[in-house]
Amino acid sequence: MAQWYFDEDGDLSVLAGKTVGVFGYGNQGRSQALNMRDAGIDVIVGSRSDASAEKSQEDGFETLPLAEAARKADILFVLVPDEVMPAVYAEHIAPNLVPGNVVNFASGYNVHFKKIVPQDDVDVIMLAPRMVGQGVRDTVVAGVGFPSLVAVHQDATGHAWSTLIALAKAIGSTRMGVIESSFEEETVADLFNEHFGFLHAVRQGVEVLVEKGVSYEAAILELYASGEMREIGQYFVDHGLFDQLKLHSRTSAFGQLAWARPSPEAEQASKDHLRNVIDRIKDGTFASKWQEVQEGGMKEFEAAEAELQQQPFWQEELKLYKRLGRI
């Protein structure tokens, strides 16, 4: 069973006299910075001169150019997007690190796949919220907190774990609890969630309903656009994947619990596909492909999106959303 840590396991005093630099003032960066400031931590922001820098200044943070913030910070939260992180790290952060610094990532991706290889004399940790950025702020303000995965990749000082749990407490995550993990585990689980195929499964559901005589409007509303799925998603969170069925009609519960379950053969085939998805994450196939796409100017990404935009599904969804006043 995984090791859990809660508020009583974190000691904020280990952060006394330390300056935390937040690099990337997007949804995660802003929420974590505000939470840490509320916890009494000295926080600065490293940013380019853009809208995010203006926002951090409006929020009252000392906002510095990336390299200057890296020189000033003792603990560095690297929260820029994965695809630009290696370049930002190499140009602005790595040259300004000193022995004993702590470098924190919110995702294991770039370190695990060696897109970033930190120097040996700094602590390398991961504090990875399992929560969208705004939720990181809202749940803490509400007094609830949110779960995170935490890991130490490199303990140069001998104090990386105590620093990590203190930081988890400072952002409000130990209120609900953080789970000991690894950079590899977080990367595999996170990418698998994104590669699971949910969006295309819903698209296919709409398309086969239409093939069987249901209007696009009724199909799209039924499967997601009404907002019912958002409420059911909250049932998953509150009650569990199958126990939430007690909040449905008996007809719905039977249809989902028993009738819709694939045959053993079909279920095995589906699991085999998902195992292949994981294998292609673990062996670096996806990371290599994503690097190739980026180096190719994102043309393959844009072509895939353009092809879908020409499909009847996309066009009909656009029409419906205009009618609903969402566009």
Binding residues for Mg(2+): 190, 194
Annotated binding site: 190, 194
Residue 317 CB neighbour total at 10 angstroms: 20
Radius of gyration of the chain (CA): 22
CB 171 within 8 A of CB 20: no
CA 33 to chain CA centroid, Å, is: 16
Q: In this structure, is the dihedral angle defined by the CA atoms of residues 82, 102, 174 and 141, taken in order, positive or negative?
A: negative
CB 38 within 8 A of CB 60: no
In whole angstroms, give the CA distance from residue 296 to residue 291. Answer: 9
Distances (CA, A) of 259 to 70, 115, 143, 197, 213: 57, 46, 40, 22, 22
75-78 sheet: strands from edge to edge? 4-5, 178-180, 148-154, 123-129, 102-105, 75-78, 19-23, 42-46, 62-64
By the 10 Å C-beta count (0-12 exposed, 13-18 middle, 19+ buried), 224 is classed as: middle
Residue among 170, 136, 207 at smallest CA distance from 37: 170
In whole angstroms, give the CA distance from residue 132 to residue 31. Answer: 10
In DSSP notation, 199-223 reads: HHHHHHHHHHHHHTT--HHHHHIII
In DSSP notation, 114-175 reads: TSS---TTSEEEEEEESS-HHHHHHHHHTT----EEEEEEE-SSS-HHHHHHHHHHHTTGGG
CB 6 within 8 A of CB 61: no
CB 148 within 8 A of CB 5: no
